[in-house]
Amino acid sequence: MTRLRASARPVAVPLLLLLPFLLLLLLFSIAPTVWLLINSFMLDGAWSFGNFVEIVRSPFYRQAFSNTLWVSIASSVLGLAVGLITAASLKRVGGTLRDMVVSFTNMAANLTGVPLAFAFMIVMGTNGAVTLILREMGWLNGFDLYSQSGLILIYTYFQIPLALLLLYPAFDALQDDWQESAALLGASTFAYWRWVGLPVILPAILGTFILLLANALGAYASAYALMTSNYNLVTIRIASLVAGDISLEPNLAAALSLLLIVALVLVAMVNHFLMKKSYHAR
Amino acid sequence: MHAKRYHQWVVYGFIALLAVPALATLLYSLSRQWGATILPEGLTLDWYIKLLHDTRFLVAFGHSLLIAVGTLLLATVVMVPTTFVVAYYFPTLDRWMNIVILMQFAVPPVVSSVGLLQLYADGPLPMVGTPWVLLGCYFTIALPFLYRALATALQGIGMNDLMDAAHLLGASTFRAFMYVILPNIRKALMAALFLSFSLLLGEFVFANMLVGGRYETLNVFLYSIRATSGHYTSAIVMGYFIFTLCVTWVATRLSR
């Protein structure tokens, strides 16, 4: 029976078993991406950088990119802040409450996209209950859900559960007696976090931030559900160029898509680099 | 004690913050009328009863269920052998699989829809506007979760030792896989399937861009009735949310 050892495994049948996977991957992942790559450099049937030139020259598309970046960064920072504060406290409360909060957050992570936007429209729309309460208290200052700040609020909401779920395991690396030792040596809570706590969990924080950023850059459903095509985001522009009612320009959409992919790949590479670094630090 | 109270307040505050939109939507879906006042007027189950009698909703929900279950069947049949073949015969391919997985995250659904719309609108594979194109797209959504879960499980059970032992006892590779490997990775597979299921049920972008009203799914239906009664839409949001919660609950039970 030794002939069946690892070195002598026959490979013809196993290779055949990979075929369905390769076929599906080719049809639904590789082919559309290759199509994008080719057609973003095509203008009127010839090779050209024209699509990219048009995007760079157009204030409208430049605004789409700056809006996307701003909404993504703002919502990632806010989500990260809430996630961090909660994760730090979660370590200090009892195990039962902790498990409860983690499963609760898992559930909350399911409320995204169209349903999330609708929930916000009901709660914080023009006549929503929270809007009314806040207006009564005079805290609203002209907040409008159907605006950039409203969009940031909704994005932040789908970032928070993700941030907490990604961050709270990192806090396990902090040993309980470190803070006590620091306090015995005369360190304030701030000094402890500045010199001990933060440096230990920094790679996890950066890694989480990058994932949140990538998540927001490619997001489309909640923005579309809230404002249809009335807010200028890259994903919204891409969609309306291929499925809109006015003019269809798939090649321009391909160029916009390629730029978005480049941004996402950059983000992924930074993440990869940070993970490697944190691994070596250990 | 002072510090402990602070940490408890932070955690309770966090729960409240996350729960407010869902709870308000629940309250809205249970109220007869809620406008221009801070508290709703009159509680009712009418919106949910209306929901159960709305054939368009039921059809859309059925479509979503059918596509999600169909995709997961396809993904299981394809990914279980694929992961095993990669892990057992070609372990060096794992690096390429990770690149494939990364690709699914670097190319968001809006972006791949651009290419899919052009490639499969007509030509030899006219799939746009039919549920078939969603089956393929949803396969790419479920792929990273299934592959990672299965690859980790295969590593965790010591696949090579188990296979060698089975071979020494006279089992063929197929038999060893079916009777030794498969039962051992079943739990990981089920957990990944349930996770993917709730993701697929809530998918909107591919469904809206590639198929739309021609084979209406849950979220496409939800989006299309946004202009009607907010009470009714919130009943749909809650119904869908509660359904997903049940699925997630089953998933966590199974993965224990």
Instruction: Let me know whether B89 and B31 are in one domain.
Output: no
Minimum distance, in Å, between the CA of residue A123 and any CA atom of chain B: 6
CATH number, position B132: 1.10.3720.10
Asked if A123 and B170 come within 8 Å (Cβ–Cβ), the reply is no
Task: Using an 8 Å CB-CB cutoff, list chain B residues near A35.
Answer: 114-115, 118-119
User: Torsions phi, psi of A232, nearest 5?
Assistant: -90, 90
pLDDT at residue B1, as a whole number: 59
Specify if B231 maps to a domain.
yes
Query: Is B169 inside a domain boundary?
Result: yes
The CA–CA distances, whole Å, from B148 to B70, B84, B192 equal 20, 12, 9
A18-22, A91-95, B27-31: which is most confident: A18-22
DSSP B210: I
| DSSP code at position B32 | E
B204 shares a domain with B153 = yes
Which residues of B are less than 8 Å from A157 in CB distance?
Answer: 18, 21
Average pLDDT on A26-43 reads 94
Residue of B nearest to A109 (CA): B18
pLDDT in tens, A229-249: 789 999 999 999 998 766 789
Instruction: Please tell me if residue B114 touches chain A, with a CB cutoff of 8 Å.
Output: yes
| pTM of the complete model | 0.88
* pLDDT value at A37 more than 70: yes
- Residue bearing tokens 């509660």: B242
In a mutational test of the A interface, the residue from B4, B5, B9, B11 whose CB has the highest number of chain A CBs within 10 Å is B11
Chain A residues whose CB is inside 8 A of the B164 CB are 5-6
In DSSP terms, which residues pair with B41 in a beta bridge?
A: B33
Mean pLDDT for the stretch of residues A23-34: 96
For residues B245 and B198, the answer to whether their CB atoms sit within 8 Å is no
Whole-number average pLDDT of chain A: 87
What's the total number of domains in chain B?
2
Instruction: Kindly state whether residues B158 and B244 are assigned to the same domain.
Output: yes
Which residue from B74, B86, B104, B75 is spatially nearest to B151, judged by alpha carbons?
B86
Instruction: Tell which of A89, A100, A212, A234 to mutate to test the B interface (max B CBs under 10 Å).
Output: A89
Decide: B169 and B132 in contact? Cβ < 8 Å.
no
Cβ-defined contact of A29 to B37 (cutoff 8 Å): no
Pick from A27, A123, A127: CB nearest B21 = A123
- For residue B41, give the 3-state DSSP assignment: strand
Q: Which residues contact B51 (CB under 8 A, 6 or more apart)?
A: B57, B232, B235, B236, B239
Across the interface, whether the CB atoms of B24 and A101 are under 8 A apart is answered no
- pLDDT tens, position by position, A157-187: 999 999 999 898 888 878 878 888 888 888 8
CA distances to A127, B31, B44, B224, B228 from B232, rounded to whole Å, are 16, 10, 12, 13, 8
Of B82, B111, B204, the CB nearest to A261: B111
* Chain A residue with minimum CA distance to B221: A114
Say if the ipTM goes beyond 0.95. no
Contact B25/A122, CB-based, under 8 Å? Answer: yes
- Chain A residues inside the 8 Å CB shell of B85: 14-15, 17-18
Q: Is residue B49 part of a domain?
A: no
Burial class (CB in 10 A: 0-12, 13-18, 19+), A229: middle
Closest-CA distance, A178 to chain B, in angstroms, reads: 16
B70 and B175 share one domain: yes
* Cβ within 8 Å, pair A242-B114: yes
Same domain, B141 and B211: yes
Q: Does B226 touch chain A (CB under 8 A)?
A: yes
Token pair of B62 as six digits: 């059925």
Note down pLDDT in tens along chain B; length 256 residues.
577 888 999 999 999 999 988 888 888 888 877 766 667 777 888 888 988 899 999 999 999 999 999 999 999 999 999 999 999 999 999 999 989 998 888 899 999 999 999 999 888 889 998 999 999 999 999 999 999 999 999 999 999 999 999 999 999 999 999 999 999 999 889 888 988 998 899 899 999 999 988 999 999 999 998 877 788 888 988 888 888 888 877 777 776 6
Q: Which residues contact B190 (CB under 8 A, 6 or more apart)?
A: B251, B254, B255
List the single residue in B10, B18, B22 with the smallest CB-CB distance to A160: B18
Please indicate whether, in this complex, the C-beta atoms of A110 and B100 are within 8 angstroms of each other: no
Count other C-beta atoms under 10 Å from residue A260's C-beta: 24
Q: What is the pLDDT of residue A237?
A: 94
Q: Answer whether residue B50 is part of any domain.
A: no
A170 versus A24: which is more confidently predicted?
A24
Give me the residues paired with residue A43 across strands.
Answer: A46
Chain B, window 162-201: residues with a beta carbon less than 8 angstroms from a chain A beta carbon: 164, 167-168, 170, 173, 198
Q: Which residues of B touch A72 (CB under 8 A)?
A: none
Under the banding of pLDDT at 50, 70 and 90, the label for residue A152 is very high
Contacts of B53 (CB under 8 A, 6+ apart): none
Specify the amino acid at residue B217. Answer: T
CB burial string B36-62: b at 16+ within 10 A, e below: eeeebeeeeebbeeebeebeebeebbe
pLDDT at site B28? 85
Q: What are the extents of the domains in chain A? A: 12-48, 55-281
Domain extent for B35: 2-44
Burial class of A249 by CB neighbour count within 10 A (0 to 12, 13 to 18, 19+): middle
What the block records as the tokens of A122 is: 């009901």
Confidence of residue A280 (pLDDT cuts 50, 70, 90): very low
Q: Could you give the angle at the alpha carbon of A241 between the alpha carbons of A236 and A246, nearest 5°?
A: 110
Q: Indicate if B65 and B168 belong to the same structural domain.
A: yes
pLDDT at position A8 is 58
> Is B38 in contact with A122 (Cβ distance < 8 A)?
no
Cα separation, B209 vs A239, in Å, equals: 8
Residue A142 has pLDDT above 80, yes or no: no
The full 3-state SS of chain A, as one line of letters, equals: CHHHCHHHCCCHHHHHHCHHHHHHHHHHHHHHHHHHHHHCCEECCEECCHHHHHHHHCHHHHHHHHHHHHHHHHHHHHHHHHHHHHHHHHCCCCHHHHHHHHHHHHHHCCCCHHHHHHHHHHHHCCCCHHHHHHHHHCCCCCCCCCCHHHHHHHHHHHHHHHHHHHHHHHHHHCCHHHHHHHHHCCCCHHHHHHHHHHHHHHHHHHHHHHHHHHHHHCCCHHHHHHHCCCCCCHHHHHHHHHHCCCCCCHHHHHHHHHHHHHHHHHHHHHHHHHHHHHHHHC
Residues B120 and B68 reside in one and the same domain: yes
What are residue B43's phi and psi, to 5 degrees? -90, 145
In this structure, are B101 and B195 located in the same domain?
A: yes
Domain A55-281 carries which CATH code? 1.10.3720.10
B122 and B35 together in one domain: no
Looking at residue A188, what is its pLDDT? 86
